[in-house]
Chain A
Amino acid sequence: MSTPTASLPSPAPAPAPGRSLAAWWQAMPLTTVFVLFFLIPLALILMVSFWDFNEYELLPGFTLKNYFSIFEGCGNTSDLCVTFKTYLSTFKFSFLVWLITLVTGFAVSYFLAFHVRSQGVQTLLFVLCTIPFWTSNVIRMISWVPLLGRNGLVNQSLAGLGVVNQPIEWLLFSDFSVVLAFVHLYTMFMIVPIFNSMMRIDRNLIEAASDSGASAWQTLWNVIVPLSRTGIIIGSIFVITIVMGDFVTIGVMGGQQIASIGKIIQVQTSYLQFPLAAANAVILLALVLMIIWALTRMVDIRKEL
């Protein structure tokens, strides 16, 4: 989450020869916060990940033990080791959620930006989208449970309509319910940046496209999508980083029996295995940074903003 801010610490004026002292002072507050609350803790995590530990204390030193134990058994080709399995499951959720929120988010933004003519209605609908965010994440998540359960509303309705004889089991505590909850929780993070990019598109361009004989589909694909790219990338960064680190949603909606890397870190910290958790966090951070790096290769966020 903090990484996007990392890539835009200053508004990047034209390379000014001999920057004034004032500019440095202006950059000070953010730099201080950034160093104190991000860089130093991160350095500490990195340091601790090389420490040894026992039941009740951390033993300063330098050892690669934690990293080795994370990848223990990963050379075995017949059966995936826990770490790979966990990452695989985390990646799977990230990808699915990213894809679904992207399509939904894009569709909603498109409707809001191009189909709703009146600005008042636009604002109203946009606020409507944010209503679910007036309650906490966990409440929104838990409210799915009575709906999807074995004796939940959905199963009762289906049984009442005679569609099913037996309650459908995979509605709750399954991959399905996890993805559903994620999409419900995080589509907004796609809508906002994409909508923002779309609102900046010069409407004359769309007129020009249609004048040049482009079909609606061609306009969408060749004009709107490329020009919304910044929003798409920013939204993707939000969604992917959140899902990669999540353990609450996967825990609650997956009935605590679906692996996620965040969950493993959480279990380890609760058993005072801080160095192991730190090593896991470092690996997770490296992976997420790589994904963000790859995403930012596709668009120059600094320029577009």
Chain B
Amino acid sequence: MSDALPDQKGTATDTAISGLPRRSLLKGTAGILATGIFPAVHAQEKIVLRYLGTAVNQDKAIAEKFKADTGITIQYVAVTTDDVTKRAVTAPNSFDLIDTEYFSLKKIVPTGNLKGIDTKRIKNADKITTLFTTGTVAGKAVGDQGTAPKKVIYLEGEKSKVFAKSPTQFMSLIPTVYNADTLGIRPDLIKRPISSWAELLNPEFKGKAAILNIPSIGIMDAAMVVEAKGIYKYPDKGNMTRKEIDLTIATLIEAKKAGQFRALWKDFNESVNLMASGEVVIQSMWSPAVTAVRTKGIACNFQPLKEGYRAWAAGFGLPATLSGKKLDGAYEFINWFLDGWAGAYLNRQGYYSAVLETAKARMEAYEWAYWMEGKPASQDIKSPNGDVLAKTGSVRDGGSYETRMGGIACWNAVMDENNYMVQKWNEFVAA
């Protein structure tokens, strides 16, 4: 649905504006085309890139702006996070560009369905934030538990099925957006400061807590709680042993049996509704979902916690079979994406963009100060569509880019014991 709409509109305006002239133009040029003198323009006009990803990242404005700038059409194919992986593994010819999370790479790259992205063809490749290339923010190393991007971002070659240990010319994904997740709370209903992940399972919030029902992410949140409560310290929360999985799930089951959870959520909107309706006052949450609750006029905090954040990152990948004009088009899109306009757009939504320098050039100084430097807003902060997100004087949750991204404790991950973990997660749901 959501991907069909912008597309239809695009075609409609196309014919409306240039229908007639183009038709006569085509007639006129048909002869020239047949002789093959005019091929470049002809091909240029026909490129359509099928962009596979989740609905959250597929913004109509981005596709429209790109089309206006380059004439290449982006056709969004919106599916869920799990389905992106599923399609990359089972139907790699059904898309021309994939937008997926780094943790999915452990499943996709070994199939050989992705092509290494040649960084020599990416203009801003060397400006990509160090968080991805070396795992540092402002020179300091951040937590690398789980599938940290630096572990999976480089491939040994263009057609490699294994990750490279050190930087190479070929990247698996070019980062697009990323952020660090934490608990969302309703300050008006909790009425006291919250500073630890342990509060998620605090009996004080019995029947008013919720956790993410995407097993591989939910278990990481649970692990943060287990560590915060001092039950156990994991060597790597993103790659647990069977025993550690058992322990984590047992903690969850115990809480569930005691009636801790009001619900589990899987979908962005579900988490917004749970929070907005007051069914839940504390839950693991995504940053834009917190923004969505706030735009309804309901107080909601994306609460920084002393144990740190669980980070995630998404990026663009190319299917192995992509070639010719479409491949060029895909590179053009990636280059355009890193060039600043899209980055500024994403920064204004509360995400972070991969190349900060170019994004900064496209943002107002007060916007940059609010979103990236953690300074109080010197005037009202608006979302890209013009809604007021924050009043003058307010400060972004979690502070500056460096404080927030520097506070990463672990990354979304796929564990070696993933199958076992999913099985145990089902046990939690059934308990």
A255 touches B262 (CB 8 A): yes
CB contact under 8 A between A257 and B83, given known A56-B111, A82-B426: no
User: Which of A152, A169, A256 has most chain B Cβ within 10 Å?
Assistant: A256
CB of B362 within 8 Å of the partner chain: no
A255 touches B264 (CB 8 A): yes
Measured CB to CB, the closest approach of chain A to B415, in angstroms, equals: 10
Beta-carbon contacts under 8 Å, A270-305 to B: 270-273, 276
Residue of A nearest to B423 (CB): A69
B213 touches A55 (CB 8 A): no
A55 touches B263 (CB 8 A): no
Question: Among the listed stretches B116-124, B272-280, B310-318, B346-354, which one makes contact with chain A, having 4 or more residues with CB under 8 Å of it?
Answer: B272-280
CB of A89 within 8 Å of the partner chain: yes
B419 touches A273 (CB 8 A): yes
Q: How far is the CA of A270 from the CA of B425 in the complex (A)?
A: 13
Among candidates B80, B108, B429, residue contacting A259 with C-beta atoms closer than 8 Å: B429
CB of A60 within 8 Å of the partner chain: no
CB contact under 8 A between A271 and B422, given known A55-B414, A149-B279: yes
Main secondary structure of the interface of B (DSSP, over half): helix
Beta-carbon contacts under 8 Å, B197-246 to A: 207, 213, 215
A257 touches B427 (CB 8 A): no
A145 touches B106 (CB 8 A): no
Q: Place the interface of chain B in its size category.
A: 35 or more
A173 touches B263 (CB 8 A): yes
A270 touches B427 (CB 8 A): no
B265 touches A256 (CB 8 A): yes
List residues of chain A with CB within 8 A of the CB of B108: 56
Q: How far is the CA of A169 from the CA of B266 in the complex (A)?
A: 21
CB of B110 within 8 Å of the partner chain: yes
Among candidates B82, B86, B279, B425, residue contacting A172 with C-beta atoms closer than 8 Å: B279
Q: How far is the CA of A256 from the CA of B414 in the complex (A)?
A: 22
A86 touches B430 (CB 8 A): yes
CB contact under 8 A between A150 and B277, given known A169-B207, A271-B422: yes
Among candidates B86, B110, B256, B426, residue contacting A267 with C-beta atoms closer than 8 Å: B426
List residues of chain A with CB within 8 A of the CB of B426: 82, 86, 259, 264, 267
CB of A268 within 8 Å of the partner chain: yes
List residues of chain B with CB within 8 A of the CB of A267: 215, 422, 425-426, 429
Q: How far is the CA of A301 from the CA of B110 in the complex (A)?
A: 52
Measured CB to CB, the closest approach of chain A to B15, in angstroms, equals: 32
Task: Tell me how many residue pairs across A and B have CB atoms closer than 8 Å.
Answer: 87
CB of B303 within 8 Å of the partner chain: no
CB of A140 within 8 Å of the partner chain: no
Measured CB to CB, the closest approach of chain B to A78, in angstroms, equals: 15
Residue of A nearest to B274 (CB): A255
What is the 8 Å Cβ interface bit string for chain B, positions 70-98, against chain A (1 contact, 0 not)?
A: 00000000001011011001000000000
Q: How far is the CA of A145 from the CA of B273 in the complex (A)?
A: 10
A256 touches B266 (CB 8 A): yes
CB contact under 8 A between A257 and B422, given known A270-B83, A272-B86, A272-B107: no
List residues of chain B with CB within 8 A of the CB of A82: 423, 426-427, 430
A257 touches B111 (CB 8 A): no
Q: How far is the CA of A267 from the CA of B89 in the complex (A)?
A: 17
CB of A210 within 8 Å of the partner chain: no
Measured CB to CB, the closest approach of chain A to B73, in angstroms, equals: 30
Measured CB to CB, the closest approach of chain A to B386, in angstroms, equals: 28
CB of A202 within 8 Å of the partner chain: no
CB of B335 within 8 Å of the partner chain: no
Q: Place the interface of chain A in its size category.
A: 20 to 34
B107 touches A55 (CB 8 A): yes
User: Which of B215, B277, B418, B430 has most chain A Cβ within 10 Å?
Assistant: B430
B111 touches A255 (CB 8 A): no
A257 touches B86 (CB 8 A): no
Main secondary structure of the interface of A (DSSP, over half): loop
B262 touches A271 (CB 8 A): no
Residue of A nearest to B88 (CB): A56
B107 touches A151 (CB 8 A): no
Measured CB to CB, the closest approach of chain A to B300, in angstroms, equals: 15
Among candidates A56, A150, A256, A264, residue contacting B107 with C-beta atoms closer than 8 Å: A56
B418 touches A146 (CB 8 A): no
Residue of A nearest to B421 (CB): A271
List residues of chain A with CB within 8 A of the CB of B371: none
CB of B261 within 8 Å of the partner chain: yes
List residues of chain A with CB within 8 A of the CB of B256: 257
A259 touches B430 (CB 8 A): yes
CB contact under 8 A between A272 and B277, given known A56-B110, A259-B426, A267-B215: no
List residues of chain A with CB within 8 A of the CB of B265: 256
Residue of A nearest to B90 (CB): A272
List residues of chain B with CB within 8 A of the CB of A273: 419, 422
A146 touches B277 (CB 8 A): yes
Among candidates B107, B261, B419, residue contacting A257 with C-beta atoms closer than 8 Å: B261
Residue of A nearest to B89 (CB): A56
Q: How far is the CA of A263 from the CA of B215 in the complex (A)?
A: 13
CB contact under 8 A between A268 and B422, given known A86-B430, A255-B264, A259-B430: yes
Q: How far is the CA of A268 from the CA of B264 in the complex (A)?
A: 17
Q: How far is the CA of A261 from the CA of B220 in the complex (A)?
A: 25
User: Which of B256, B414, B423 has most chain A Cβ within 10 Å?
Assistant: B423
25 contacts between A and B (CB under 8 A): A55-B419, A56-B89, A56-B107, A56-B110, A56-B111, A57-B89, A89-B430, A149-B277, A149-B279, A151-B277, A151-B279, A172-B279, A173-B262, A255-B263, A255-B264, A256-B213, A257-B264, A258-B429, A259-B426, A259-B429, A259-B430, A264-B430, A267-B422, A267-B426, A276-B419
The 9 closest A-B pairs by CB, nearest first: A255-B263, A259-B430, A270-B82, A256-B264, A56-B107, A82-B427, A256-B213, A82-B430, A85-B430
Instruction: Add 12 more A-B contacts to A85-B431, A264-B426, A267-B215 (CB < 8 A).
Output: A55-B110, A57-B89, A57-B111, A150-B278, A150-B279, A151-B277, A151-B279, A173-B279, A256-B213, A256-B266, A267-B422, A269-B86
Interfacial residues, chain B to chain A (CB-CB below 8 A): 80, 82-83, 85-86, 89, 106-108, 110-111, 207, 213, 215, 256, 261-266, 273, 277-279, 414, 418-419, 422-423, 425-427, 429-431
